[in-house]
Amino acid sequence: MADTLPKVAGKLTADAPLAPLVWFKSGGAADWLFEPRDLADLQGFLRDLDPALPVMALGLGSNMIVRDGGVPGVVVRLGKAFARVAKTADLTLDCGGGASGILVSSTARDNGIAGLEFLRSIPGTVGGFVRMNGGAYGGEVKDILIDCDVVLRSGALLTLTKDDLNYTYRHSELPEGAIVVAARFEGRPGEPETIQSEMDRISASREATQPLRSKTGGSTFENPAGHRAWELVDQAGCRGLTMGGAQVSEKHTNFLINTGTATSADIEALGNEVRRRVLEKSGVELEWEIQRVGRK
Ligand SMILES: Cc1cc2nc3c(=O)[nH]c(=O)nc-3n(C[C@H](O)[C@H](O)[C@H](O)COP(=O)(O)OP(=O)(O)OC[C@H]3O[C@@H](n4cnc5c(N)ncnc54)[C@H](O)[C@@H]3O)c2cc1C
């Protein structure tokens, strides 16, 4: 099968286990894992790849259940060449699609750019933030994004503005198979010390309320209009509920955790059981926020 894939300068691995690359530490392998050397490598590969093969981007896998049957086609993971962050104008940062929230927020601080502190607390990459409209503590990507560069499934490079992405809560209309390779974020003037204290405040609050040191996937369900998902889950008696090796976090009921031996099927089945109980108890249908990908 390797012969049928385009030649690359970066790393192309067949049957690549994804569990080590995602927060839940569960799930199957990618048919192919591609870590492009640079932008030209990514563009050339996608241009020459059989259009029938699906392509999916993977960041830090902090919002993802990879099903146990693995992911068909090609999973693209952006490495060092896409992890740079640089100031371009007074209050603007140009960020690679693979850069972490920690790097973006600390570069903003060093340059006296406020308003990006919330990215300190979201464990993901710029590509994942742009795709998911990541947000926390009153900020979200749609408030700071100017535009982003994406490589389409055809290999074409395109700049999309914030308006092109039609953002709603934790959702964008990024084209299917598109890979975000860079994004420009804009903040407002701020003092580095003040920005640092806001980042510290956010980190401490996170530590107190979320199971950050567990194998988890972030918020499991979207907050339904007029409700908070964690409260509905709690009211339905699901705090600590287990299924196989999966458990509803005792610390934050909108988080599922892998206690050590969970399969992705355990985690997904637990999520569905929680949805069933919440519907029965309060009549509200919870929608998954976590991306569930791959073959069952
Ligand atoms: C402990 C914990 C706390 C969290 N807290 C928050 C929070 O407060 N707020 C919040 O919004 N989220 C939170 N999350 C969820 C998660 O961190 C975000 O959704 C984040 O944006 C995911 O980024 P990622 O790069 O890891 O994406 P992944 O989880 O790898 O992927 C998520 C989606 O983004 C797509 N994607 C990833 N990279 C790219 C790319 N380069 N181009 C195109 N698409 C891409 C994937 O295909 C997938 O559809 C939390 C997660 C954890 C584990």
Given a cut of 70, whether residue 1 has pLDDT beyond it is no
Q: Which of 43, 122, 199 to mutate to test the pocket of ligand 1 (most atoms within 8 A of CB)?
A: 122
Residue 271: CB within 6 Å of ligand 1? no
* Residue 136 CA, closest ligand 1 atom number: 8
Using CA atoms, how far apart are residues 286 and 148, in angstroms rounded to an integer?
31
* Residue 133 CA, closest ligand 1 atom number: 11
Distance in Å, CA 1 to ligand 1 centroid: 31
Given a cut of 90, whether residue 89 has pLDDT beyond it is no
Q: Is 170 one of the catalytic residues?
A: yes
Query: Any idea what DSSP says for residue 94?
Result: E
- 146 touches 185 (CB < 8 A): yes
What tens digit of pLDDT does each residue of 108-151 get? 999 999 999 999 999 999 999 999 999 999 999 999 999 999 99
SS3 state of residue 92: strand
- List Cα–Cα distances, 73 to 11, 162, 183, 264, in angstroms: 15, 29, 26, 19
Q: What is the pTM of this model?
A: 0.96
Residue 249: CB within 6 Å of ligand 1? no
What tens digit of pLDDT does each residue of 52-88 get? 999 999 999 999 999 999 999 999 999 999 999 999 9
* Residue 129 CA, closest ligand 1 atom number: 21
Closest C-alpha to 277, from 219, 215, 216, 221: 221
Closest C-alpha to 256, from 280, 235, 233, 232: 233
- Report which protein residue has its CA nearest ligand 1's atom 50: 218
Using CA atoms, how far apart are residues 85 and 292, in angstroms rounded to an integer?
29
pLDDT-derived band at 3, boundaries 50, 70, 90: low
Strand runs labelled E in the chain: 11-17, 29-35, 55-58, 64-66, 71-77, 85-89, 92-96, 113-114, 135-136, 139-140, 145-151, 157-161, 179-186, 188-189, 215-216, 242-243, 246-248, 256-258, 291-293
What tens digit of pLDDT does each residue of 189-224 get? 999 999 999 999 999 999 898 888 899 999 999 999
Q: Is 239 one of the catalytic residues?
A: no
- 212 touches 251 (CB < 8 A): no
Residue 96: CB within 6 Å of ligand 1? no
- 45 touches 8 (CB < 8 A): yes
SS3 state of residue 229: helix
Q: Which of 62, 100, 149, 150 to mutate to test the pocket of ligand 1 (most atoms within 8 A of CB)?
A: 62
Both structure tokens of 201 = 């405040």
Query: Roughly what angle, to the nearest 10 degrees, separates helices 192-209 and 101-110?
Result: 150
State the average pLDDT for the chain: 96
Residue 4, pLDDT score: 79
Using CA atoms, how far apart are residues 146 and 49, in angstroms rounded to an integer?
30
What tens digit of pLDDT does each residue of 265-284 get? 999 999 999 999 999 999 99
Mean pLDDT of 154-171: 96
- 154 touches 55 (CB < 8 A): no
pLDDT-derived band at 159, boundaries 50, 70, 90: very high
Using CA atoms, how far apart are residues 195 and 169, in angstroms rounded to an integer?
25
